[in-house]
Structure 1
Amino acid sequence: MNLENRTFVITRNVVSRIEGVPGLTNVPEMKNFNHGDLKDYFMTNEIQIALYDHISAYLQKLNVDESILKDIRQDIFLKAHDSIDTLKDHNKIFSWLQVITYNAVIDHYRKTNRATPVIDTENNLNEGNESLIQCISLLIKSLPNEQKHVMEAIEVTGISQVQYAEQYNLPLSTVKSRVQRARKKIKETVMSSCFLRTDKFGNVTDYNLPKGI
């Protein structure tokens, strides 16, 4: 498999290993759901416990340093509460929360000049490929807002394009178009600007980020 095709295969392989996080399907029922009641729903003890468990498990999968885990988790809760109005379906609260969690982690590490954590991987991904994942993750952050949002949801947190379209009330064709344009842009940047170094088998052994990333 050539490098262009492997770029997002690597990302999806890593994403598949963060699925099955406790709490993903344990959404407390909200009868007679009304979008205006979301903040009250979010603050109930039952949902707070479920969210706490889910965030903690997801942060562990992201290999977040224990010394800053508490601060990041608190930041995630604040951001989630402030942006709860963007959640269109309370049944999708965990997939929505994963996007917020991932963004909060990346933002925290960039602000503190720490090395971005790498999602827990298995033996079939070498260290160079893990570096490529970091590169792709940062490139996603540099995309235009619409493309960035859909790529973080689909490529990073593992939401399907159909789920994303339903969650944000968008035509599926619009979502597919945004994903296609974003993937093309990232692939072009990776191939032309990431300065990838590969071994004789095509595995990425090192990379340099483009300027401005």
Structure 2
Amino acid sequence: MSSISMWRKATAFSGFGATLSHHLCRRHSTATATAVNSVLLRSLKEHYLEVSKMIPPPKVNPPSPFTVVKGALDGAGPVLKRSYGDEQISISVMRMDNIIPGAGAAAGGEDDDDDDINQLFLHVEVSKPGQKESLLFLCGLYPDALGIHSVSIRPMADASDYAAPRSSAYTGPLFEDLDEGMKDAFHSYIEERGVGDSLFPFLRAWLYVKDHRNLMRWFKTVGSFVNETKSV
């Protein structure tokens, strides 16, 4: 056999070996990925079923004259709204822990658990017809008290996103730097508009339902993504 023929056979065998090795590696990789996906999907399903069995808190209605904003459970905007004379009052809510990590544990002590929502963070917007700006209060709400963290004026276009960085425009002094008389006057201002600890039972129950719904949706969405396969 000539050297050329031997080289051709060796090359062909080498190519076949590489193809076989690639095929086996791909089969191994696919099998491993399938096994990993299966474990993850099983875990997601178990947690989904576990969360679905959680009993929601008793239904609580918001204090009159506040009403629930339609679609609030599925959005990130205001939860409650009301009219006060010619003013519109809207309230958004978050867990305090989402703003200040560990705030609940710091205030509640060792007896707190993750499901006990005892501190809420409120964004209260007071707007008037024809005005391009609104008056915004960032507040901490507790079962028996409400504290104001800041008061600012912002353009209406920015009012819905209280987590966004503040603009460079001056929005006012630090609330803690105001004298006690002005602090008390601001507290009276929002209390007159119905913003106080009477909102706590409803907002806590509403936030529990929203968190529960978001968690269920997360398990389902992630599971659908992992389980989706496309032919190559």
Question: TM-score when scaled to structure 2?
Answer: 0.22
The structure whose residues are more often helix, as a share, is: 1
**Structure of greater relative contact order (alpha carbons < 8 Å, 6+ residues apart):** 1
Give TM-score scaled by structure 1 length: 0.23
